[in-house]
Structure 1
Amino acid sequence: MKTIRTTLTVAGAALAMAVPLIGATSAPAFAASRDGVCDSGEFCYYYNSNEAGSVSDFTGSVSDLGATQPTCYDFKGAGAGQGLCVKNNAASVWNRTGHTVRVYFNSGYSGASQDFAPGAKGNLDATLKNNDASHQFLGGGGGGGNQSPVNDFDHGTRGFAADNCTAFAAYRIASRLGVPNFSNSWGGTTWGNAGNWANAARATGVTVNTTPTVGAIAVNDVHKVGHVAYVNAVYSDGSFDVEEYNWNNPLAYGTRSHVHVSDAQADFQWMLHF
């Protein structure tokens, strides 16, 4: 059940103002850039409708906004709602990033959602107002921040073999990368086995290179029939983490950390940026 917003008493308001000072000793990711001002390059929640009240600003995806202090992401800016957790308390947003940002009803990027295009501002719809739990920067262009791994697969096939790497990657493309109708025949070509995905991407105009970014689809075209995975984290040394199906765990979800772009059988050779 979602938390219902209650009115703060004077004493409660004073406590809420004090809490962020306590939380400062264990600030969550992106805290260094979160100052309660909606700057260019940030996605911002507002406590009230029509971009009013206290602001909470973000530079990347967050899989769980957190519901309790001192570990939740809170409203930083001056105004109504300052010090409260953002989860289940936001009414409007402003997307000042270059990515479409999707706000979700549930943690882990799941449940009902609402998309905000780059530059868009507006109120959360009736389902998500005061019921926001996570948000996702869509697309593989980078800048979205590393993402916590979560097995959110809906087990739909989208024309691929059930519970194979291709079906999972297709789900992530459809649910996170802004291509909701992606399938084995998307773009008028047959994507087929994972080893063919780089060629299919080129044929349909999808950017193909060797640069890993969060949200990219990693392609291995040298291992048997190939393999595809979703990049959820990238590191300064060029290595990256992936989420995948049917690699170490037959027909099941798994993750790997600090893999690379190389010709090795266990690595990846290409990155697809939808």
Structure 2
Amino acid sequence: MSTTLKKVAASAAAALAATTAFVAASSPAQAASRDGVCDTGELCLYYNSDNAGAISDFTTSIADYGTTQPSCYDFKTDKAGHGLCVKNEAASVWNRTGKSVTVYFNSDFAGASQTFTDGTKANLNATLKNNNASHRIGSGGGSSSGFLLPFPCGETWEGQTRSNHSPSLAVDFNHYPDDLGWKVYASAPGTVTTVANLGNTSYGRYIVISHAGGYKTYYAHLSSQDVSVGQSVTATTMIGRVGSTGGSTGPHLHYEQRLNGTVVKATFKDGSPAYPNNTTNLQRKQSCP
């Protein structure tokens, strides 16, 4: 082979080697930015509770962690869990993204979820610990993908919104022809903070549940309350039954989602009410009680 041809062959081999190295470094499980160090701007999943063990660090939302190498997202740090796929193995979180982050039980941002505000270092709850398959950073990580309709699967409920409602972003749920006594469920994991009875005024019998990320949900006009203050609940916990207590003029569930004390538009994984002044048929389809 001539000297010129040898130089061309050598250049081609070097280019191919560089391209191969780039592709390998860019695969999901081996991305250069994922080095097992929890840096500013990253979501870090830990193999063990209390932010211990190997770390898997992310800067973007991931819809599916994967289950096998070389394509799965793995734990990078040379500690317990190193090299294992993250799916169904993470136990704790440090959110340094600057945004709210939601971790999900299922892939594609579905199933039970837990939301972490920026700066939070915490263990995954009993539902999500070692049962996690995706996470979403920023928009969509709060109520729009974090809550389920507060009823059993298979039931169709009308979600009514109206501008003269108090508060205006609350939702009234009805199940025809008669919804008195129908079961009400928590719409996300959380802790019961209020179980109260205002008599014949306002909310009447009502319950408030606090959730991760600064969210609270309100359930009012109940005929019965079947939880107590301080009780931990999941999205499959029955908390009470539909009633017509307080200032209600007929059986229905008055429902609110609040973020840091402010009522926001109620949104759910399986569809959401339309605002304002609309009636929408809604049905829970996942995480069925």
The TM-score by the shorter chain falls in which range?
A: 0.3 to 0.5
Q: Which has the higher strand share?
A: 2
Question: TM-score, structure 2 length as denominator?
Answer: 0.43
Q: Which has the higher helix share?
A: 1
> Whose radius of gyration is greater, 1 or 2?
2
Question: TM-score, structure 1 length as denominator?
Answer: 0.45
Which fold has the larger relative contact order, with Cα–Cα distance below 8 Å and residues 6 or more apart in sequence?
2
